[in-house]
Amino acid sequence: EIVLTQSPGTLSLSPGERATLSCRASQSVSTTYVAWYQQKPGQAPRLLIYDASSRATGIPDRFSGSGSGTDFTLTISRLEPEDFAVYYCQHYASSMGYTFGLGTKLEIK
Amino acid sequence: QEQLVESGGDLVKPGGSLRLSCAASGFTFSDYYMIWFRQAPGKGLEWVSYISSSGSFTNYADSVKGRFTISRDNAKKSLYLQMNSLRAEDTAVYYCARTMVQGVLTPLDPWGHGTLVTVSS
């Protein structure tokens, strides 16, 4: 079983700042199977990044993903007010289904 | 417009049963794997089950294996989750979601809005 550890648990930043969110896997995984989601209160998750670094349809280019092996990063280059939310990294495999990290809450400082 | 709409959530007693439905529109339902997730109040996301596009292959999280059954009716463009022997820890918002790409397991897009299941006496 792959465990995803996200850090920090909470990140307090101001609009216009850069956000760097980390996701560490308990063992090396293929970038093909790593994704990031955004979830706002009362809403379903929204796919942001797939294949570790590809932006999903309609996602602004201030969102970017990177990483390989066990360490993956979601970067928001310049925070907009609507970006404050909870972010989850995800790994999937046919045998294990989908695994999520516990999330990083991005809050307004 | 691709859309998923869940229904069937309710308050049920421990040991009871419930059947969730997810109605799809705006895409060729039979081409995609479908997945159920859940999110307990104030908690993170948990995968529950997935089913292949034809319905011939299913997989379950250990936490629900033997109690929940996923199924689909491609003619009705609907996904189902039969939940038996419900426990308090099954209390959550249940989401259905579709794979991003046809015919294979991939990240999920779109998602439904969710339906609340509460297990309590």
Cα distances (angstroms) measured from residue B1 to each of A55, B24, B27: 20, 10, 8
- Distance between B102 CA and the closest CA of chain A, angstroms: 15
| Residue A1: per-residue pLDDT | 86
State the amino acid at position B40 in one-letter form. A
- Residues B17/B69, Cβ–Cβ less than 8 Å: no
Q: Which of B55, B96, B102 is nearest to B74 (CA)?
A: B55
Q: Is B42 on the interface with A (CB under 8 A)?
A: no
What whole-number distance in Å separates Cα of residue A48 and Cα of residue B39?
19
pLDDT score at B2: 96
pLDDT-derived band at B32 (thresholds 50, 70, 90) equals very high
Rounded to a whole number, what is the distance in Å from the CA of B76 to chain A's nearest CA? 24
Q: What is the pLDDT of residues B71-103, one digit of tens each?
A: 999 999 999 999 999 999 999 999 999 999 998
| pLDDT surpassing 90 at residue B105 | no
Q: Is B75 left (phi over 0), alpha (psi -120 to 50) or beta?
A: alpha
Angle at A11 (CA atoms; ends A65, A72), nearest 5 degrees? 25
Question: Using an 8 Å Cβ cutoff, are B97 and B111 in contact?
Answer: yes
Task: Give A57's pLDDT tier (boundaries 50, 70, 90).
Answer: very high
Residue B17 main-chain phi, psi, to 5 deg = -130, 160
pLDDT of residue A94: 83
Task: Look at B100 and A56 and tell me if their CB atoms are within 8 Å.
Answer: yes
In whole angstroms, give the CA distance from residue A37 to residue A31: 15
Q: Read off the pLDDT band of B34 (50, 70, 90).
A: very high
Query: Choosing among B109, B115, B116, which should be mutated to test the A contact, i.e. which has the most A CBs within 10 A?
Result: B109
Q: Across chain B, what does the average pLDDT equal?
A: 96
Count other Cβ atoms within 10 Å, centred on residue A41.
6
pLDDT 10s digits, B11-30? 999 999 999 999 999 999 99
Mean pLDDT of chain A: 96
| pLDDT at position A87 | 98
Residue type, A56: A
The pLDDT tens digits for A71-91 are 999 999 999 999 999 999 999
C-alpha dihedral sign at A61, A105, B5, B31: positive
